Structure 1
Amino acid sequence: MASGRRSLPVAVLELLAALGMLLGLCALGATFVALPGRAMWAAAGVLVAACALVLSRWPDPRTTLGPANRVTLGRAVLVALVAGTLAAPVWAQHHAAWVAVVAGIALALDGVDGWVARRWRCASAFGARFDMELDAFLILVLCAHLLLMGKAGSWVLVIGAMRYGFVAAMRVWPWLDGPLPESGRRKLVCVWQVASLLLCLLPVVDATSAAVLLAAALGLLAWSFAVDVRWRYVNGRPEGKRGG
């Protein structure tokens, strides 16, 4: 006789497992570094929102996210934890090294999901977009931390907002939307900016030194975006709309 009960879709179970992982990390944080409750709740809110977005874009919740996307989901747990600490800025300033370590682990795992995707042949457009958007959000969160810590002025948010500005510009100029060629320059600039953000979080880096590092990161990022915009202008615009 059938019980009539149905288990949750596998993708939902994987997302719930991510929430469980966050709960465990929050418990460890509360035990060892007195992580405030408001930071935990904020982190949970960020991760729930991320899981909702994943579920809305995943084609079939009855199928697994796959090994590579599970690694990215694990990174999302760490990023949510770093983002949650923005709700406790005084605590974050006193535990800046802890914030930097967690963010650094999330960054270190960035290459793992790509390796897993190649190793198990499960690369997908969804996975690439998931990974890219997570990186962009982490960069914006780190910029916000530096602003709240007084390491930089509000201009530092431009580093984190540039990706979102580029996406917004696609709505005005559709020719900006489209694939870009593989670029070592783009990857190098990305590593430089994230490494600079992590370094500037550390207490040993004062505001003056942070300003120099972050200004260099912003300049390199602006240059890299300009190169990509130029490439899209030349290769993406309809022939009839190109300027003379």
Structure 2
Amino acid sequence: MALNNTYGARLVQQETALGAGVQILLLALLGSATGMGPAGWLTGLVFAVASWAVLSRAVHRSRLSSFGPANRVTLGRATLVGGVTALVADSFRSSPPVTLFVALTAVALILDGVDGKVARRTGTSSALGARFDMEVDAFLILVLSVYVSAELGPWVLLIGGMRYTFVAAARVWPWLTAPLPPSTARKTVAALQGVFLLLAGAELLPHVANAGVVALALGLLVWSFGRDVLWLWRTSRSRAMTAGETSHVAKDVELIAG
């Protein structure tokens, strides 16, 4: 059994390394198609190496014996996100081909709805898979925010930075780390962020319309995060009050027993 587990772990690590190799191949294809400059190449390579290192460490710590079909879908999506990241980094030198940028981003967004379904249907859902999916989503939104902010202004970065601000705040206020109840509204708002940012970045609408679309995305995101933070705060207060009452009851029982 130990040998089988070790063999499975090696296969998982090989799959993560293969993902990094495919990422570099995609960069080569994009470079030849767009004449990508040093910034795009460097950013894409850093993304490939960093994502491989982080994923490999997470896989090792989770002791997976099989990477699973859902994680393979997410890994493919991460590869596309790496390509988008390289194009966005290169956009500060020259505008990337809009069709290529839209195509890569659109496929990455579409696949976001695939990996979860694959995990449920194959019974391969895992904490690692959920975290992997979430981190790829968040990074894509951040990259799209950077791209769109070049046209609409730095305020767009609030969209991409909100999730990371929430994570940083949770280090100061641990009650923010409590699990949230499932919410269709939360999932819908999160999915719309990528769609709205892609629409604004596709250059299909006038400047004012793009600003309105992105402002709507930001408003929905603020509402969603605000609702979740309020729920977490109220839940933490309720638990603190319950714990306090329990403590008082325990002390009273001790006094009576004494």
Please say whether Structure 1 and Structure 2 have the same fold, judged by a TM-score greater than 0.5.
Answer: yes
Unpaired runs of 5+ in structure 2?
1-5, 244-258
Aligned to 2:3: none
Q: Determine the C-alpha separation between the residues in 2 that align with 1:86 and 1:207.
A: 19
Aligned to 2:228: 228
Aligned to 1:216: 216
* Count of aligned pairs: 235
Which structure 2 residues correspond to residues 77-156 of structure 1 after superposition, within 5 A?
77-90=79-92, 93-148=95-150, 150=151, 152-156=152-156
* RMSD after superposition: 2.3
Structure 1 counterpart SS, 2:228: helix
Structure 2 counterpart SS, 1:197: helix
Structure 1 counterpart SS, 2:178: coil
Contact 2:175–2:233 (CA under 8 A) maintained in structure 1: yes
* Amino acid corresponding to residue 70 of structure 1 in structure 2: R
Contact 1:11–1:61 (CA under 8 A) maintained in structure 2: no
Contact 1:40–1:81 (CA under 8 A) maintained in structure 2: no
Residues 187-196 or 221-230, more deviating: 187-196
Q: Determine the C-alpha separation between the residues in 1 that align with 2:216 and 2:225.
A: 14
Deviations 1:13-71 (A, max 9, x none): 11221122223323332343434454233212112101111111222667332221111
Q: Determine the C-alpha separation between the residues in 1 that align with 2:93 and 2:205.
A: 18
Q: Determine the C-alpha separation between the residues in 2 that align with 1:241 and 1:47.
A: 47
Q: Determine the C-alpha separation between the residues in 1 that align with 2:169 and 2:235.
A: 17
Are residues 1:239 and 2:211 paired? no
* Amino acid corresponding to residue 198 of structure 1 in structure 2: L
Identity of aligned residues (%): 41
Contact 1:92–1:99 (CA under 8 A) maintained in structure 2: no
Instruction: Select the structure of larger CA radius of gyration.
Output: 2
* Amino acid corresponding to residue 81 of structure 2 in structure 1: V
Contact 1:68–1:116 (CA under 8 A) maintained in structure 2: yes
Q: Determine the C-alpha separation between the residues in 1 that align with 2:13 and 2:240.
A: 46
- Which is richer in helix? 2
